[in-house]
């Protein structure tokens, strides 16, 4: 019933997602209501954001809401966790998840496209401003939501391990199976990675059980654009922790 979830605004879209049982969790629907999908697209196409389908315009690509529901459920989120979004795009998912992590949580993102980064930072600023003067002001720590420009494979692992391991990681593009162990180095004990595997077109949930012991669970069949890996890309930004 996902394809019937269409509204004139974010609240109507959320109502339809509930009516069609796409979202059944009161916690998750609150996050969707607090994060207006229309704030994360080019504003002249804002109306296109309010349907349960992927949004693709120029360099801005956003997965369908039902896919993000699947991802959020698989990540098993709770307040205070540290989250890393690989291929963070518009910043929509990063902000959605930030509302679930609360004031003490961390929501970091990285994207290889500089135009997307500029767009996402504007979108995140718009999103934070929407809270000003409301009862929701201060529910998310602005300093905890950071999105940087760079190639995820150029992340300084030794520095990251010393400063911040992530409890949850989402990879928003098809990742070859051979590259997934790279991200294990950023994952905390009992941490979870949700990733579309490019080789098999499946979305999987990987849990770090203990040390180098991992379990993998099939979620659903998907088709994602492949993860971009540009060698020797200079990373100009850094995430502060």
Which sequence positions are flagged as catalytic? 63
Q: Among residues 142, 227, 185, 159, which one has the least CA distance to residue 193?
A: 185
The DSSP secondary-structure symbol of 78 reads -
Q: At what angle do helices 65-75 and 26-34 cross, to 10 degrees?
A: 130
- Residues 82, 105 contacting (CB under 8 angstroms): yes
The count of other CB atoms within 10 Å of the CB of residue 169 is: 25
Phi, psi of 82 (to 5 degrees): -105, 125
Residues 6+ apart with CB under 8 A from 162: none
CA dihedral 17, 23, 26, 30 (to 10 degrees): -60
Distances from the Cα of 225 to the Cα of 128, 173, 198, 207, angstroms: 29, 6, 8, 24
176 token code pair: 């070859």
Distance CA 106, CA 43 (A): 27
């Amino acid at each position: 019933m996902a394809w019937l979830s269409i509204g004139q605004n974010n609240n109507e879209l959320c109502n339809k997602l509930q009516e069609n049982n796409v979202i059944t969790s009161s916690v998750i629907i609150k996050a969707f209501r607090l994060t207006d999908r229309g704030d994360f697209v080019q504003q002249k196409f804002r109306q296109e954001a309010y349907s349960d389908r992927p949004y693709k315009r120029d360099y801005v690509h956003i997965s369908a809401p039902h896919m993000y529901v699947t991802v959020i459920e698989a990540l098993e989120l709770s307040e205070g966790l540290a989250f890393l979004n690989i291929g963070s795009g518009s910043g929509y998912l990063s902000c959605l998840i930030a509302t679930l992590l609360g004031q003490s949580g961390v929501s970091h993102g990285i994207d290889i496209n500089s135009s997307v980064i500029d767009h996402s930072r504007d979108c995140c600023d718009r999103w934070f401003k929407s809270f000003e003067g409301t009862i929701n002001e201060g529910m998310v720590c602005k300093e905890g939501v950071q999105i940087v420009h760079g190639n995820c494979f150029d992340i300084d692992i030794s520095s990251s391990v010393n400063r911040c391991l992530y409890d949850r990681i989402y990879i928003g593009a098809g990742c070859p199976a051979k590259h997934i162990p790279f991200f294990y180095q950023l994952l905390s004990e009992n941490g979870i990675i949700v990733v579309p595997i490019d080789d098999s077109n499946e979305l999987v949930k990987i849990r770090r059980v203990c040390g180098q012991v991992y379990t993998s669970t099939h979620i659903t069949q998907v088709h994602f654009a492949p993860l971009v890996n540009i060698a020797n890309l200079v990373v100009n930004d850094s995430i502060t922790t």
